[in-house]
Amino acid sequence: MSRRDQIRMTDDEAAAFLDGQRVMVCASNGHDGWPHLMPLWYVVRDGNLWGWTYAKSQKARNMERDSHVTLEVEDGEQYHELRGVMIRAHARLHRDPEVIEGIGLELVDRYSGTGPEFDPLRDMFRAQVPKRVGLEFVESGPRASWDHRKLEGVY
């Protein structure tokens, strides 16, 4: 078995990894031909990653022009700890306020909590809806994944 095959995550491992991490890096194609990388909070819906951003942001403009994006979620400090998932996707921008609000509230729940003490934060997120777009990342190519912990220190 190749090293590549040894470190590849199973579908279940990749799903658990994505559920357990908190930040993805989204690479869109800039108007000048250079990749534009930005961190985003995300939620997982039916296996796809979703987020939101300001409608006038550079990443939103890039995705309007070219929907191709690459997403990466990674973890680890030392080489033997490195693990991650890279996803090729097409970005779909959603402008429906109900969709955008739903994403925002899911982000609050995921990153802060679901109790009534977070209602002021939910209100703050709701107030941002008119300035935001929803981002749905639809996988459109093979996923890459790696978990160097599977090598158990043997390279």
- The domain total for the chain is 1
Q: What is the DSSP letter of 95?
A: -
Taking Cα atoms as reference points, which of 7, 92, 13, 11 lies closest to residue 49? 92
Q: If DSSP codes are grouped into helix, strand and coil, which group holds residue 121?
A: helix
pLDDT of residue 114: 81
Share of the chain above pLDDT 90, in %: 81
Taking Cα atoms as reference points, which of 66, 65, 39 lies closest to residue 53? 39
Which CATH number covers residue 37? 2.30.110.10
Write out the residue range of the structural domain in which residue 107 sits: 3-151
pLDDT tens digits along 77-126: 999 899 999 999 999 999 999 999 999 999 999 999 888 888 888 999 99
